Protein backbone atom coordinates (compact mmCIF):
# COMPACT_ATOMS: atom_id res chain seq x y z
CA UNK A 1 0.00 0.00 0.00
CA UNK A 2 1.51 3.39 -0.90
CA UNK A 3 1.59 6.39 1.39
CA UNK A 4 -1.38 8.14 -0.16
CA UNK A 5 -3.66 5.09 0.01
CA UNK A 6 -2.56 4.46 3.59
CA UNK A 7 -3.47 8.04 4.51
CA UNK A 8 -6.90 7.57 2.92
CA UNK A 9 -7.46 4.38 4.92
CA UNK A 10 -6.37 6.08 8.12
CA UNK A 11 -8.55 9.11 7.43
CA UNK A 12 -11.50 6.77 6.93
CA UNK A 13 -10.86 5.39 10.41
CA UNK A 14 -10.50 8.84 11.90
CA UNK A 15 -6.78 8.34 12.56
CA UNK A 16 -4.02 10.75 11.68
CA UNK A 17 -1.12 8.32 11.61
CA UNK A 18 0.04 5.09 13.15
CA UNK A 19 3.38 4.29 14.70
CA UNK A 20 4.93 0.87 15.04
CA UNK A 21 5.37 0.05 18.74
CA UNK A 22 8.76 -1.18 19.82
CA UNK A 23 8.88 -4.96 19.81
CA UNK A 24 5.70 -5.44 17.78
CA UNK A 25 5.95 -7.63 14.69
CA UNK A 26 6.24 -5.43 11.60
CA UNK A 27 3.19 -6.89 9.83
CA UNK A 28 0.81 -6.64 12.77
CA UNK A 29 -0.36 -2.99 12.70
CA UNK A 30 -1.12 -3.15 8.98
CA UNK A 31 -2.90 -6.49 9.33
CA UNK A 32 -4.95 -5.16 12.23
CA UNK A 33 -5.76 -1.98 10.34
CA UNK A 34 -6.91 -3.84 7.25
CA UNK A 35 -8.93 -6.35 9.25
CA UNK A 36 -10.58 -3.48 11.15
CA UNK A 37 -11.47 -1.89 7.82
CA UNK A 38 -12.92 -5.09 6.43
CA UNK A 39 -15.11 -5.45 9.49
CA UNK A 40 -16.09 -1.79 9.57
CA UNK A 41 -19.79 -1.04 9.08
CA UNK A 42 -18.61 1.94 7.02
CA UNK A 43 -17.72 -0.52 4.27
CA UNK A 44 -21.24 -1.89 4.01
CA UNK A 45 -21.84 -2.01 0.24
CA UNK A 46 -25.58 -1.52 0.81
CA UNK A 47 -24.93 1.91 2.24
CA UNK A 48 -25.40 4.71 -0.34
CA UNK A 49 -22.15 6.40 -1.39
CA UNK A 50 -23.65 9.79 -0.56
CA UNK A 51 -23.74 8.79 3.11
CA UNK A 52 -20.09 7.79 3.22
CA UNK A 53 -17.47 10.17 4.58
CA UNK A 54 -15.48 11.71 1.72
CA UNK A 55 -12.18 9.86 2.30
CA UNK A 56 -13.96 6.52 2.49
CA UNK A 57 -15.77 7.13 -0.76
CA UNK A 58 -12.38 6.80 -2.42
CA UNK A 59 -12.15 3.21 -1.24
CA UNK A 60 -15.53 1.94 -2.27
CA UNK A 61 -15.57 1.86 -6.05
CA UNK A 62 -16.15 -1.90 -5.89
CA UNK A 63 -19.75 -1.03 -4.89
CA UNK A 64 -20.25 1.95 -7.23
CA UNK A 65 -22.81 2.13 -10.01
CA UNK A 66 -21.89 3.71 -13.35
CA UNK A 67 -22.64 7.30 -12.31
CA UNK A 68 -20.79 7.00 -9.01
CA UNK A 69 -17.82 5.44 -10.71
CA UNK A 70 -17.72 8.11 -13.41
CA UNK A 71 -17.81 10.85 -10.77
CA UNK A 72 -15.09 9.13 -8.75
CA UNK A 73 -12.81 8.87 -11.77
CA UNK A 74 -13.46 12.50 -12.78
CA UNK A 75 -12.21 13.63 -9.36
CA UNK A 76 -9.36 11.15 -9.06
CA UNK A 77 -5.89 12.28 -8.04
CA UNK A 78 -4.59 8.87 -7.01
CA UNK A 79 -1.52 8.49 -9.17
CA UNK A 80 -0.69 12.12 -9.90
CA UNK A 81 -1.59 12.13 -13.61
CA UNK A 82 -4.41 14.54 -12.78
CA UNK A 83 -1.70 17.22 -12.71
CA UNK A 84 -1.15 16.99 -16.46
CA UNK A 85 -4.49 15.79 -17.86
CA UNK A 86 -7.02 18.02 -19.61
CA UNK A 87 -9.78 15.69 -18.47
CA UNK A 88 -10.29 12.06 -17.54
CA UNK A 89 -11.26 9.60 -20.27
CA UNK A 90 -13.68 7.27 -18.54
CA UNK A 91 -14.84 5.09 -21.42
CA UNK A 92 -17.67 5.10 -23.90
CA UNK A 93 -20.18 2.76 -25.44
CA UNK A 94 -23.11 0.48 -24.98
CA UNK A 95 -23.77 -0.51 -21.37
CA UNK A 96 -25.27 -3.78 -22.64
CA UNK A 97 -22.20 -4.54 -24.79
CA UNK A 98 -20.93 -8.07 -25.17
CA UNK A 99 -17.51 -6.83 -26.26
CA UNK A 100 -15.26 -4.66 -24.11
CA UNK A 101 -12.31 -3.17 -25.98
CA UNK A 102 -9.47 -2.15 -23.67
CA UNK A 103 -6.52 0.00 -24.69
CA UNK A 104 -3.59 1.40 -22.81
CA UNK A 105 -4.21 5.07 -21.99
CA UNK A 106 -5.58 8.22 -23.60
CA UNK A 107 -3.41 9.95 -26.19
CA UNK A 108 -3.35 13.67 -26.91
CA UNK A 109 -6.57 13.69 -28.93
CA UNK A 110 -8.42 11.50 -26.41
CA UNK A 111 -7.26 13.81 -23.62
CA UNK A 112 -8.71 16.76 -25.57
CA UNK A 113 -12.01 15.11 -26.48
CA UNK A 114 -12.57 12.99 -23.35
CA UNK A 115 -13.27 9.86 -25.40
CA UNK A 116 -11.06 6.81 -25.99
CA UNK A 117 -9.88 5.79 -29.45
CA UNK A 118 -10.60 8.89 -31.49
CA UNK A 119 -8.49 10.23 -34.36
CA UNK A 120 -6.81 7.94 -36.90
CA UNK A 121 -6.28 5.07 -34.47
CA UNK A 122 -9.93 5.27 -33.48
CA UNK A 123 -11.03 5.18 -37.12
CA UNK A 124 -8.91 2.10 -37.71
CA UNK A 125 -10.38 0.46 -34.59
CA UNK A 126 -13.88 1.20 -35.94
CA UNK A 127 -12.92 -0.43 -39.25
CA UNK A 128 -11.48 -3.47 -37.46
CA UNK A 129 -14.72 -3.85 -35.50
CA UNK A 130 -16.84 -3.41 -38.61
CA UNK A 131 -14.82 -6.18 -40.28
CA UNK A 132 -16.20 -8.63 -37.74
CA UNK A 133 -19.71 -7.24 -37.91
CA UNK A 134 -19.62 -4.87 -34.93
CA UNK A 135 -20.49 -1.17 -34.92
CA UNK A 136 -18.64 1.09 -32.49
CA UNK A 137 -22.00 1.81 -30.85
CA UNK A 138 -22.45 -1.88 -30.01
CA UNK A 139 -19.27 -2.27 -27.95
CA UNK A 140 -17.82 -0.57 -24.88
CA UNK A 141 -14.38 1.02 -25.16
CA UNK A 142 -12.10 1.93 -22.26
CA UNK A 143 -8.45 2.13 -21.28
CA UNK A 144 -6.41 0.74 -18.42
CA UNK A 145 -5.50 4.34 -17.49
CA UNK A 146 -8.12 7.08 -17.41
CA UNK A 147 -5.62 9.94 -17.73
CA UNK A 148 -3.03 10.67 -20.37
CA UNK A 149 0.61 10.08 -19.40
CA UNK A 150 2.57 13.16 -20.51
CA UNK A 151 4.22 12.81 -23.91
CA UNK A 152 2.34 9.54 -24.50
CA UNK A 153 4.93 7.66 -22.47
CA UNK A 154 4.12 4.16 -21.23
CA UNK A 155 2.17 4.11 -17.95
CA UNK A 156 4.28 3.41 -14.88
CA UNK A 157 3.65 0.31 -12.78
CA UNK A 158 2.24 2.48 -10.00
CA UNK A 159 -0.09 4.41 -12.33
CA UNK A 160 -1.49 1.17 -13.75
CA UNK A 161 -1.93 -0.36 -10.31
CA UNK A 162 -3.74 2.72 -8.98
CA UNK A 163 -6.09 3.01 -11.98
CA UNK A 164 -6.86 -0.64 -12.67
CA UNK A 165 -9.59 -0.92 -9.98
CA UNK A 166 -11.72 1.50 -12.03
CA UNK A 167 -11.51 -0.76 -15.08
CA UNK A 168 -12.18 -3.79 -12.89
CA UNK A 169 -15.37 -2.13 -11.67
CA UNK A 170 -16.34 -1.26 -15.25
CA UNK A 171 -15.91 -4.94 -16.15
CA UNK A 172 -17.97 -6.04 -13.16
CA UNK A 173 -20.78 -3.64 -14.12
CA UNK A 174 -20.71 -4.43 -17.83
CA UNK A 175 -20.31 -8.22 -17.57
CA UNK A 176 -18.99 -8.51 -21.13
CA UNK A 177 -18.79 -11.78 -22.98
CA UNK A 178 -15.26 -11.00 -24.10
CA UNK A 179 -12.41 -8.57 -23.50
CA UNK A 180 -10.33 -7.55 -26.46
CA UNK A 181 -7.03 -6.15 -25.17
CA UNK A 182 -5.49 -3.95 -27.84
CA UNK A 183 -1.77 -3.41 -27.53
CA UNK A 184 1.00 -4.82 -25.39
CA UNK A 185 0.48 -2.54 -22.39
CA UNK A 186 -3.24 -3.34 -22.08
CA UNK A 187 -2.69 -7.08 -22.52
CA UNK A 188 0.19 -7.24 -20.05
CA UNK A 189 -1.67 -5.21 -17.40
CA UNK A 190 -4.88 -7.18 -17.68
CA UNK A 191 -3.07 -10.52 -17.62
CA UNK A 192 -0.48 -9.38 -15.06
CA UNK A 193 2.40 -10.67 -17.12
CA UNK A 194 5.43 -9.38 -18.99
CA UNK A 195 5.12 -11.96 -21.77
CA UNK A 196 5.36 -10.34 -25.22
CA UNK A 197 2.23 -9.51 -27.19
CA UNK A 198 3.43 -11.82 -29.95
CA UNK A 199 3.14 -14.74 -27.52
CA UNK A 200 -0.10 -13.58 -25.91
CA UNK A 201 -2.11 -13.24 -29.12
CA UNK A 202 -4.02 -16.15 -30.67
CA UNK A 203 -4.77 -17.60 -27.23
CA UNK A 204 -7.96 -17.56 -25.18
CA UNK A 205 -6.97 -16.10 -21.78
CA UNK A 206 -9.27 -15.19 -18.92
CA UNK A 207 -9.39 -12.02 -16.86
CA UNK A 208 -9.38 -11.94 -13.07
CA UNK A 209 -11.68 -13.85 -10.77
CA UNK A 210 -14.63 -13.27 -13.11
CA UNK A 211 -12.70 -15.30 -15.72
CA UNK A 212 -14.04 -13.25 -18.60
CA UNK A 213 -12.45 -14.58 -21.81
CA UNK A 214 -9.70 -12.28 -23.07
CA UNK A 215 -8.02 -12.12 -26.46
CA UNK A 216 -5.05 -9.86 -27.18
CA UNK A 217 -4.20 -8.13 -30.43
CA UNK A 218 -2.26 -5.19 -31.80
CA UNK A 219 -3.08 -1.57 -31.02
CA UNK A 220 -4.47 0.32 -34.03
CA UNK A 221 -1.82 3.03 -33.57
CA UNK A 222 0.83 0.33 -33.99
CA UNK A 223 -0.96 -1.02 -37.07
CA UNK A 224 -0.93 2.46 -38.62
CA UNK A 225 2.86 2.41 -38.27
CA UNK A 226 3.20 -1.25 -39.25
CA UNK A 227 0.49 -2.03 -41.81
CA UNK A 228 2.10 -5.40 -42.63
CA UNK A 229 0.74 -6.67 -39.30
CA UNK A 230 -2.89 -5.83 -40.15
CA UNK A 231 -3.29 -9.38 -41.46
CA UNK A 232 -2.28 -10.75 -38.05
CA UNK A 233 -4.76 -8.40 -36.36
CA UNK A 234 -7.48 -9.69 -38.67
CA UNK A 235 -6.61 -13.26 -37.60
CA UNK A 236 -6.86 -12.16 -33.96
CA UNK A 237 -10.26 -10.58 -34.48
CA UNK A 238 -11.63 -13.68 -36.15
CA UNK A 239 -10.22 -15.73 -33.30
CA UNK A 240 -11.85 -13.41 -30.73
CA UNK A 241 -15.18 -13.73 -32.56
CA UNK A 242 -14.91 -17.52 -32.29
CA UNK A 243 -14.06 -17.34 -28.59
CA UNK A 244 -17.02 -15.00 -27.99
CA UNK A 245 -19.37 -17.33 -29.85
CA UNK A 246 -18.38 -20.19 -27.51
CA UNK A 247 -19.16 -18.24 -24.34
CA UNK A 248 -22.36 -19.06 -22.46
CA UNK A 249 -23.81 -15.95 -20.89
Q: Which residues form the interface with ligand SF4 (CB under 6 A)?
A: 73, 76-79, 81-82, 88, 145-147, 159, 162-163
Q: How far is the CB of 230 from ligand SF4 (least distance, A)?
A: 30
Q: How far is the CB of 49 from ligand SF4 (least distance, A)?
A: 17
Q: What is the dihedral of CA 153, 155, 159, 164, to 10 degrees?
A: 140
**Length of the chain as a residue count:** 249
d(CA 57, CA 42): 10
Between 5 and 30, CB nearer to ligand SF4: 5
Q: How far is the CB of 175 from ligand SF4 (least distance, A)?
A: 22
Between 115 and 159, CB nearer to ligand SF4: 159
DSSP state of 80: S
Closest CA relative to residue 149, chosen from 134, 137, 141, 160: 160
Between 2 and 77, CB nearer to ligand SF4: 77
Q: How far is the CB of 236 from ligand SF4 (least distance, A)?
A: 27
Taking CA 89 as the corner, what is the angle to CA 7 and CA 190, rounded to the nearest 5 degrees? 75
Q: How far is the CB of 223 from ligand SF4 (least distance, A)?
A: 25
Between 88 and 188, CB nearer to ligand SF4: 88
d(CA 212, CA 69): 21
Between 150 and 198, CB nearer to ligand SF4: 150
Closest CA relative to residue 227, chosen from 161, 95, 128, 86: 128
How many CB atoms sit inside 10 A of residue 135's CB?
Answer: 10
Kindly tell me the sign of the dihedral angle through the C-alpha atoms of 185, 191, 193, 199.
negative
Between 21 and 153, CB nearer to ligand SF4: 153
Q: How far is the CB of 217 from ligand SF4 (least distance, A)?
A: 23
Q: How far is the CB of 173 from ligand SF4 (least distance, A)?
A: 16
Q: Which residues contact 163 (CB under 8 A, 6 or more apart)?
A: 76, 78, 79, 144, 145, 146, 147, 155
Between 88 and 126, CB nearer to ligand SF4: 88
Contact present, 97 and 118 (Cβ < 8 Å): no
Q: Which helix (H) or strand (E) holds 180?
A: strand 178-182
Amino acid sequence: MNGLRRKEYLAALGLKSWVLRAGAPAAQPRALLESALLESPLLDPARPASEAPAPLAALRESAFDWDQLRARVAACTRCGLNATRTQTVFGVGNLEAQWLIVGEAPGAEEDRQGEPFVGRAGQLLNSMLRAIGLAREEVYIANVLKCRPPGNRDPSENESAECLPYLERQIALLKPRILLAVGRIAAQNLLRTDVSLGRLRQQAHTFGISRVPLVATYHPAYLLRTPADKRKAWEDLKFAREVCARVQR
